[in-house]
């Protein structure tokens, strides 16, 4: 699947419209639906639904614990963990950029003094 990005106004008559998938739902609607078990999710019979922690770091720890323990994960849970992993990656990138910026600012201050 190839995605292209165009700026609004580059082509006459093209504006910014909310994207929706094949189901016609917006990305936010799909993400909200991840908090409840999907209709076709493969959940063991009689087992309570497993909640994925909201905190990306805790979600990664929980995933590691469950995988090492040999637990079966549904496709729904794996998708939620994938989203949490992306959030975790963005948090790590943000912290590293802040640290880099602070370091550069300190170097400038040391060179001025």
pLDDT in tens, 52-109: 888 888 988 999 999 999 999 888 888 989 998 999 899 999 999 999 999 999 999 9
Report if residue 68 sits inside a domain. yes
Report if residue 42 sits inside a domain. no
More confident residue, 29 or 98: 98
More confident residue, 102 or 5: 102
Report if residue 9 sits inside a domain. no
Report if residue 4 sits inside a domain. no
More confident residue, 103 or 46: 103
Q: Could you tell me the pLDDT band of residue 44, with boundaries at 50, 70 and 90? A: low
Residue 81, domain extent: 50-112
Report if residue 74 sits inside a domain. yes
Report if residue 79 sits inside a domain. yes
Cα–Cα distance, 60 to 22 (Å, whole number): 29
Which of 7, 31, 9, 11 has the alpha carbon at shortest distance from 20? Answer: 31
Q: Could you tell me the pLDDT band of residue 32, with boundaries at 50, 70 and 90? A: low
Report if residue 106 sits inside a domain. yes
Report if residue 64 sits inside a domain. yes
Q: In total, how many domains does the chain have?
A: 1
- Residue 43 burial by CB count (10 A; 0-12/13-18/19+): exposed, middle or buried? middle
């Amino acid at each position: 699947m190839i995605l292209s990005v165009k700026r609004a106004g580059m082509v006459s008559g093209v504006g910014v419209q909310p994207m929706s998938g094949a189901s016609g739902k917006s990305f936010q609607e799909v993400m909200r639906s991840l908090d409840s078990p999907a209709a076709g999710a493969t959940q063991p019979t009689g087992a309570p639904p497993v909640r994925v922690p909201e905190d990306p770091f805790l979600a990664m720890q929980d995933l590691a614990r469950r995988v090492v323990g040999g637990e079966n994960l549904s496709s729904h849970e794996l998708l939620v963990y994938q989203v949490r992993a992306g959030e975790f990656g963005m948090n790590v990138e943000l912290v590293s950029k802040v640290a880099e910026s602070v370091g550069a600012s300190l170097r400038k201050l040391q060179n001025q003094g």
